[in-house]
Structure 1
């Protein structure tokens, strides 16, 4: 029987999405499950509960297969991706030793007080790895537990074990892992592992995107509904899969993701060293082996839309439901009536501090009697996009690349206000993916390559690529945004840094 379908799993911070696509890239069926909120054990910490991600996958599969009318045995392969930088700690009995530490967790900053100071001779990326290492934190703060760690895993590495019973992971989910990105391999030098507090034996076996990691076990089949024996294929980090799903695989193509983390990735066919010391961007291995992404990001990007909905839009859900809309769509419709620049209300979207702005806090600036909820919502979106543009300009200046084509996707791309604002701020036509679930589509493309449906990624993208809608920049809007970026965003943190530090000290 010919195989008709491929599956993409996107295990994110706030939810899991499991989508069945046909081999032309058309979405056949989708299942979703929300994750419980992250647990903040203390200020700056963020963990998932033990089984949140696995339960999320099982619940999303329940949702998926309650709707799917086809034959599950016609699924050729499953592509697995997940959030980057979230770390699992597993003991000899293959059980988790503690709650998985989220990529949003800041406890790694405590490493600085326990590790030897950096030296000029230290490779900047290796310096970053030893400082970011959750294992180094464990050895200092929980040495007994650290001594029991059998495996140190990414989210896909742990989820893969649940699906096929082996510890295999993808090289291209490399945040916090000892991956030599230029060589597309783990570091050969044992010193890198030692500085991270790791042993090689504590890692999964790493493979490239498009390679089979394992096959669905009978137990996993019973829990998920996937056919027993179906191959599970390596993908990349979730953002890199989004770039692939958008069809951006050539040098200079760029993609903006509007998810929990909002970022712009630009594709490079030659290795792009990142600016760790300049703190402007990171380089990631792409979904297509032998290519790279330079990424400028806002850690709490379109997460802020969820924050706004949950905290400042109380009561709207009922109104939206009567109109057959989501609360976010209702807010977006309100925002469309507000002029560019939100009549002087500016949002600085620093709800999470960053390397180069350790005292940063989010701000709404410029309130007056005209401003209502719609102004705040539009200003929030404008602030996210303008901050991303400032970071992108800094990154492109450092790496000497320019954007040849800009695409956008992710859940936030359902917002007409957001996509038009991107076009206006970046002053370039923007191609919006008709299929917003670009991460799952990217995973499905990897699955199709791994199953041998297509001989390479180029042909897979050509066959499974999607249609786009183009948004054209409006010159008057761009002029407003450019002035705000030049005269407000570029100075806001420097001007307010001392005050922000005072606030933190007073209210600690």
Structure 2
């Protein structure tokens, strides 16, 4: 069932407000956000939608669900103007959205089948095929990333092998936010930050990779043109204007993949400042002025939505979700605040308790689907508070793995900015600061990908001359949490112990997976 809620800011009656509209087509919801020329959020609305799981490990959504959520969210976001007798002039629209998920369209622009989502893991055989066909050197020199189940190219090969009748109908391959643009304008296009997540895009040259397309026998004709993230990529059609409640001809810019757009919204557009996201999963993202691709590609290297920039990114698959698991399983009925308050009273290291947060396998740096969660050092002396601290510290250690890989690539942040649910917790922020040894700040407007998409729209329509000008005018940090020197030293020792656990258990993870195969 679709559910909607909105957050509004009062404005004076009869005002004329020039604004931009940012839309984030996420996995579980679409968020629409109206942002004024001063960067203030006028109104926002979020509409939820379901995920279909036809089989274990599969995850699908019909793209029409995203469009329906978009129309409802945009109309709700525009209601503030009606309530206040005000007139909102939407100067441009920016789009953000979930990465990798595949939209298959036929020659009439109709959806062929539900989209395969980024968290769908049916494509392991296709990932092996890509590795065997393209090779490590070929991948490293072009797309810059390992073939993982979540990426788009393996999904395309799965369609060809398992649904050849649907593959024969395929004329256009789109990503989620680009499908929303197609429904808004009738135009097909994408931009570098989302294209980089397909495994078909040359991240250095910022064009579709002829080498990879040839190796995988994929016709480049199914891929859309690639425009800049702030470039106008279409205008709102008459039909879409009626559904959305915004004027015909409103420009739509290229936008950005969710991580890149979120980074723009946090002002993470140049080197030196790293974005740390603690949501269901955890990510660390650090911009770079050149594409830095590790020898074994154990970090993601993607194009940024900021012009002529790239970013390195590491992912911990279980972050906030690990704490949610603990609460729902061991601490039923307790709030997160009560859990973290108890954890804060325990000593660093939880009296010798470590946690590997691999509850659904792990992405960075191990790329190991068999890895599983571990409490190491558990004894009768440990309480729920110790377990909570161990979970939070374990997630932060997992994210530090990515920071250490970035440092090996010659890039290192001097400060961090936090987003996601964990950014509202002092316990999370202090632990991240101490484990990383860096100050961490929150931002005054934590609007995520929708806010970043709105800023890209503001650049595209001329409200700001550049991304630097937009960030300087609109993005400001809020509270800053400094690391504690004594805690840094303690965590350095504990992190060393944490890092020794995975190599010791790797073979056992695989053996246990074989023993329990078919029991899910």
TM-score above 0.5, yes or no: yes
Which deviates more, 425-434 or 375-384? 375-384
Q: Is 2:74 the counterpart of 1:61?
A: yes
Are positions 1:29 and 2:38 aligned together?
no
1:425 is displaced (CA, Å) by: 0.7
Cα deviation 1:16-60 (Å, max 9, x = unaligned): 222212222222212112332x33333432223453433332343
Per-residue CA deviation, residues 200-240 of structure 1 (Å, 9 max, x unaligned), is 22112221111112222333233333333322212221111
8 A contact 1:58–1:224 mirrored in 2: yes
SS at match of 2:254: strand
**Which residue number in structure 2 is paired with residue 146 of structure 1?**
167
SS in 2 for 1:205: coil
- Distance change (3 Å), C-alpha of 1:30 and 1:374: farther
Answer yes or no: is the 8 Å Cα contact 2:265–2:453 preserved in 1: yes
Q: Which position in structure 2 is the counterpart of 1:4?
A: 18
1:122 aligns with 2:122: no
CA drift at 1:63: 4.0
- Tell me the residue number matched to 1:424: 434
How far is 1:113 from its partner? 5.5
Partner of 1:285: 303
Runs of 4+ in 1 over 6 A off after TM superposition: none
Identify if the C-alpha distance between structure 1 residues 448 and 113 changes in structure 2 by more than 3 Å, giving closer, same or farther: closer
Q: CA deviation at 1:426?
A: 0.8
Distance 1:478 1:129, change over 3 A: closer
2:314 is aligned to: 296
What whole-Å deviation, never above 9, does each CA across 1:135-161 have from its counterpart, x for those lacking one? 122212221211111211111111111
The aligned counterpart of 1:214 is 234
- Match for residue 393 of structure 1? 404
Structure 2 distance, partners of 1:87, 1:491, is: 38
In the alignment, what sits opposite 1:167? 188
Counterpart residue number, 1:182: 204
Supply the distance in 2 between the matched residues of 1:338 and 1:435 (Cα, whole angstroms). Answer: 32
User: Matches of 1:128 and 1:181 in 2, distance apart?
Assistant: 9
* 8 A contact 2:24–2:177 mirrored in 1: no
Q: Is 2:505 the counterpart of 1:491?
A: no
Call closer, same or farther: CA 1:163–1:117 in 2, change over 3 Å. Answer: closer
Q: Map of 1:82-101 to 2, 5 A cutoff? A: 82-101=97-116
Q: 1:306 and 1:231 mapped to 2: Cα distance?
A: 41
Partner residue of 2:293 out of 267, 274, 281? 274
In structure 2, the gaps of 5 or more residues are: 1-14
Q: Which runs of 5+ in 1 are unaligned?
A: 317-326
Instruction: Tell me the distance in 1 between the aligned counterparts of 2:398 and 2:213.
Output: 35
SS of the residue corresponding to residue 315 of structure 2 reads strand
Q: 1:282 to 1:113 in 2, by over 3 A?
A: closer
Distance 1:372 1:225 in 2: 54
Cα distance 1:129–1:404, how it changes in 2: closer, same or farther (>3 A)?
closer
Distance 1:130 1:387 in 2: 21
- Are the counterparts in 1 of residues 441 and 477 from structure 2 also a CA contact under 8 Å? no
Q: Secondary structure at the match of 2:391?
A: helix
Counterparts in 2 of 1:101 and 1:374: CA distance versus 1, 3 Å: farther
Asked if the contact 1:54/1:159 (under 8 Å) is kept, the reply is yes
* Maintained 8 Å contact 2:146/2:297: no
User: Measured at CA, do residues 100 and 491 of structure 1 come closer, stay the same or move farther in structure 2, by a change above 3 Å?
Assistant: same
- Checking the alignment, whether the CA contact within 8 Å between 1:129 and 1:176 is kept in structure 2 is no
**1:3, distance to aligned residue in structure 2 (A):** 5.3
State the TM-score, normalized to the length of structure 1: 0.88
Shift of 1:74: 1.6
Q: Deviations over 1:323-374 (max 9, x none)?
A: xxxx545544454444433344332111233354342112233334454544
Aligned to 1:382: 393
Q: Tell me, what secondary structure is at the counterpart of 2:47?
A: strand
1:130, 1:255 → 2: CA distance? 24
Pair 1:342–1:229, CA change in 2 (3 A) = farther
Pairwise CA distance, 1:478 = 2.4
Distance, in Å, in 2 between the alignment partners of 1:55 and 1:305 is 32
In the TM superposition, what whole-angstrom CA distance separates every residue of 1:52-95 from its partner, at most 9, and x where no partner exists? Answer: 43333234334433445564542211210001111111122322
